[in-house]
Chains A and B, each alone.
Chain A
Amino acid sequence: MRIDRLVAPWAQRAPDRIAIDGTEEALTYAELDALANRFARAFCAAGLRPGDRVGVHVPRSGRTVAAMLGASRAGAVYVPLDPGSPPARMKLVAEDCGLRQVVISNSLLANWLAAGVREPVEHFFLAGDGPGPAGAAPAVVHPWAEVTAASPEPLPPPGESPDELAYMLYTSGSTGVPKGVMISHRNALAFTEWAADQIELGEAERVASVAPFHFDLSTFDLWSSLSRGATVVIVDETTVISGRRMLDRIHAKGINVWYSVPSALVLMLDDGGLAERGAPSLRTVFFAGEVFPMKHLRRAMAALPQARFWNLFGPTETNVCLAYEVATSPPPEALAIPIGRPSCGDTAAILDPEGRPVPDGEVGELIVDGPTVMLGYWEGGRRTPAKRPYPTGDLVSRRPDGELMYHGRRDHLVKIHGYRVELGEVEAALLSHPGIQEGIAMAVDQQLIAVAVPADPAVSVLDVKRYCATRLPRYMVPSDVRLVEELPRTSSGKIDRVRTRTAFIAADWSLLRPAQRAEVRKES
C-alpha cells in the first residue's frame, strides 16, 4: 500500500463526507481527491520528475494536505516545512534536498523573498488567492487559479513499491544544519495502520489535527484518518496556544480522537476548564513527544473518564515503536508510567555500550528494528541509510512485567514542549554571532536556556535573541539568555555543562558572574 492510494476509494464511497475540516474551508473526500490530482498535474506541468522533492510551506489546511497528496501522486517526495521557521533555515533545507518546487502561502513567500531566498526553488505554487508578492524572478510564481484550472483526472499511478521514499521530516541536527529523516510508504503506514486498527478508528469519526505537519505526530492525524474515511479537524496554530480555544474546538466539532504532546492537555486543564467542562466526545487520547507529569495525567484521566489513554513512544527515525495503554489512573506513588512494549510490528532490544543485552531493571540503549525504522537520513545533499537495527539514543530499562521505562537521552537531544531540539544546533547559531565568544545551550524545566560569554561588551541579550530568531525556528530560540564573564571548566578544560546547569538552576552567580555591560545610551 502507498499513501497516494489512500483517499481515492473514499472519494468513490463517500464523496460528500468532509475529509479535512479546516479553519477557513472544508474539503470533502471528492474535493480533496480532485484537488490532489490538480496539484499533481500542476507539478508535472512545471517539470516535476518522479523522486523529486516538493516543499510544502503552508499553515495546516485542506489545501496543504492536497498538496502533500498531490506530490505523492506525482511520484514525488513531500517535505513539510515549518511555518514558524525563519527563511534562512528554510533555505538550508531547500538547498539540502534540492527543492525545486515549493507550495507556499502568499505571506510566507513574501517573507522568503524579503530574506532573499529563491535558490534553488524554480517554481512557487501559491496556496492562497491573489497575485502574491513580486520579485520572485527567475523563479516562476504559479497563482492558485492555475492549480484549480488543472484537470482533476488522476495521473497514472506513480509506482507500486511501498519502499520508495514518501516524505522527509527535517529535524534538528547536532552540527547546526537540519537533517531530513527519510520515511517510506511502508514506514509511515506501519504506524498509521497499526494505530487505526488499535483503536478501531471508524469512518466518519472526527480526528483532531493538533501537531504541525513537519512533526511526526501528524502522520496519524492525516493518514490513519484518511485511510479509514474519518474526518480530520484542523486545530490551528492560533487555537493551540490557548487551552480554552482548543477545548472550544473539541466541543464545537465533536472531536473523538486526539493526539498531541502532553503540554496541550495540560494547557486545557490549566487554562481551558477541562476538569469542569469535560469533553464527552473524546474516546481516545494518544500522547507522545515528552514525559507526561503524573499529577497532570491523573487530572486529565479524571476529566475524561470515558476516554482511553495511550502513551506512544519513538524518535522521528522510528516514528512510533513502543506503546502503552494507560488502563487506570496511575497510583499516587507512581513516579512515571511505562513507554510500553514494541508496536507496529517492531522489535526492541536493550543493550549496554558493548552491545550486550542488559538484565531486566538495568538501563541500556533502546535498539529498534522493524517496519517503522526510517530509510535513513538526507543530510548535506547525501542519503545515508539507517543503521539496522536502529540505535535510538534513548536510555530505557525493562520491568519484570515486560514494560519498558524511559530514562532520558544519551546525547544532547532535548525536548522543549514536545519539539526535539539538538542543543548543538542552538549552540552553532549562538556561536555564529560575531560578538559571542563561547556559550552553551541547555534545557531546564521545558525552557531553553543559553549561557554565553560575549566577545564584545556591547552585545545585548536582545541582539543575541534577535540574531537567533533569524536562524532558528521560534521554538529553538533560547527563552532565557544569560551573558556571563566566563563559563566553568572541567579539569580537561572543556566547558563544564553540569556545573553551569547547576549554577543556573541555583541562581548561583558567583560561578556565573554576569558580564560587564558596556554603557550605552538607552533608546526610549
Chain B
Amino acid sequence: MEPRVKADIRQHIVSTWLSGDERGFSEETDLQESGILDSFSTLALIAFLDRTFSIQLEPAEVNAQTFRSVSTIARLVMDKLAKNGAGA
C-alpha cells in the first residue's frame, strides 16, 4: 500500500509542479526548500490528497514536518488511512 501511495503523490507533484520533468526529484526531496510548495500549492496538494485517498486532513496535521517530502506526506496519509480503519 505505502509504495502505491508514494507513487501517486510523487506522480501528482511531478506532473503538476515540475512539468513532468522528474530529473533530480526523489521521495526525499525537500518540497519547501526546492520552491515546489508555497501556501497556494500546499492548499492544492491537500485537496488532491483528500480527494485521492478519501481522507480529511486536519489543519494541525499540515505543517513543515509532515509536508517536507513525498515520504513524509505518504507517512501522514498512511497514518490517516490506518486511523480510518481503511488502511488494511
Binding site for B on A (CB under 8 A): 84, 237-242, 244-245, 267, 271, 417, 460-463, 465-466, 468-469, 474-475, 477, 479-483, 517, 520, 522-524
Q: Which residues of A contact B23 (CB under 8 A)?
A: 460-462, 517, 520, 522
Q: Is the CB of B24 within 8 A of A462?
A: yes
A262 CB to nearest B CB, Å = 14
Q: Which residues of A contact B34 (CB under 8 A)?
A: 462, 465-466, 469
Q: Is the CB of A242 within 8 A of B40?
A: no
Q: Is the CB of A517 within 8 A of B21?
A: yes
Q: Which residues of A contact B17 (CB under 8 A)?
A: 465, 479-480
A469: which of B29, B35, B39 is its contact (CB, 8 Å)? B35
A237-B42 Cα distance, complex, nearest whole Å: 13
- Could you tell me which residues of chain B, from 45 to 67, have a CB within 8 Å of some CB in chain A? 59, 63
A245-B62 Cα distance, complex, nearest whole Å: 12
- Cβ of B38 < 8 Å from any Cβ of A? yes
Q: Which residues of B contact A244 (CB under 8 A)?
A: 59
Q: Is the CB of A241 within 8 A of B24?
A: no
Q: Is the CB of A463 within 8 A of B24?
A: yes
A396-B35 Cα distance, complex, nearest whole Å: 35
13 more A-B residue pairs beyond the given contacts A462-B18, A465-B18, A465-B35, with a C-beta to C-beta distance below 8 A: A237-B39, A238-B59, A242-B59, A244-B59, A460-B24, A460-B25, A462-B21, A465-B17, A474-B35, A474-B38, A474-B39, A483-B21, A520-B24
Q: Which residues of A contact B59 (CB under 8 A)?
A: 238-239, 242, 244-245
Q: List 17 A-B contacts (CB under 8 A).
A: A238-B63, A241-B40, A241-B43, A271-B43, A417-B40, A460-B23, A461-B21, A462-B25, A463-B24, A465-B34, A465-B36, A474-B39, A477-B35, A483-B19, A517-B21, A520-B23, A523-B26
A468: which of B19, B25, B35 is its contact (CB, 8 Å)? B35
B61 CB to nearest A CB, Å = 12
Q: Which residues of B contact A524 (CB under 8 A)?
A: 26-27
Q: Which residues of B contact A466 (CB under 8 A)?
A: 33-35
A84-B64 Cα distance, complex, nearest whole Å: 13
A480-B42 Cα distance, complex, nearest whole Å: 15
Q: Which residues of A contact B19 (CB under 8 A)?
A: 461, 480-483
**Main SS at interface, chain B:** loop
B32 CB to nearest A CB, Å = 8
A2-B8 Cα distance, complex, nearest whole Å: 56
Number of interface residues of B (CB under 8 A): 23
Q: Which residues of A contact B38 (CB under 8 A)?
A: 84, 474-475, 477, 479
A469-B31 Cα distance, complex, nearest whole Å: 11
Q: Is the CB of A523 within 8 A of B25?
A: yes
Q: Which residues of B contact A475 (CB under 8 A)?
A: 38
- Cβ of B22 < 8 Å from any Cβ of A? yes
- Cβ of B84 < 8 Å from any Cβ of A? no
A105-B23 Cα distance, complex, nearest whole Å: 35
Supposing A462-B18, A469-B33, A517-B21 touch, asked if A241 and B26 sit within 8 A by C-beta, the answer is no
Q: Which residues of B contact A239 (CB under 8 A)?
A: 59
Q: Which residues of A contact B43 (CB under 8 A)?
A: 241-242, 267, 271
Q: What residue in chain B is nearest A478 (Cβ atoms)?
A: B35
A469 CB to nearest B CB, Å = 3
Q: What residue in chain A is nearest B25 (Cβ atoms)?
A: A462
A280 CB to nearest B CB, Å = 23
Q: Which residues of B contact A469 (CB under 8 A)?
A: 33-35
Q: Which residues of B contact A479 (CB under 8 A)?
A: 17, 38, 40-41
A474-B39 Cα distance, complex, nearest whole Å: 9
Q: Is the CB of B22 within 8 A of A522?
A: yes
The 8 closest A-B pairs by CB, nearest first: A469-B35, A460-B23, A477-B35, A465-B35, A461-B21, A474-B38, A466-B34, A241-B39
Q: Is the CB of B18 within 8 A of A461?
A: yes
Q: Which residues of A contact B21 (CB under 8 A)?
A: 460-462, 483, 517
A267-B35 Cα distance, complex, nearest whole Å: 22
Q: What residue in chain B is nearest A242 (Cβ atoms)?
A: B59
- Residue from the set B22, B40, B41 with the largest chain A CB neighbour count within 10 Å: B40
Q: What residue in chain B is nearest A446 (Cβ atoms)?
A: B40
Q: Which residues of B contact A482 (CB under 8 A)?
A: 19
A89 CB to nearest B CB, Å = 13
Supposing A460-B23, A463-B24, A466-B33 touch, asked if A240 and B18 sit within 8 A by C-beta, the answer is no
Q: What residue in chain B is nearest A467 (Cβ atoms)?
A: B35
A465-B17 Cα distance, complex, nearest whole Å: 10
- Residue from the set B18, B29, B41 with the largest chain A CB neighbour count within 10 Å: B18
Supposing A461-B19, A462-B34, A482-B19 touch, asked if A240 and B24 sit within 8 A by C-beta, the answer is no
Q: Which residues of B contact A237 (CB under 8 A)?
A: 39
A87 CB to nearest B CB, Å = 12
Q: What residue in chain B is nearest A459 (Cβ atoms)?
A: B23
Q: What residue in chain B is nearest A460 (Cβ atoms)?
A: B23
Q: What residue in chain B is nearest A447 (Cβ atoms)?
A: B40
A357-B55 Cα distance, complex, nearest whole Å: 59
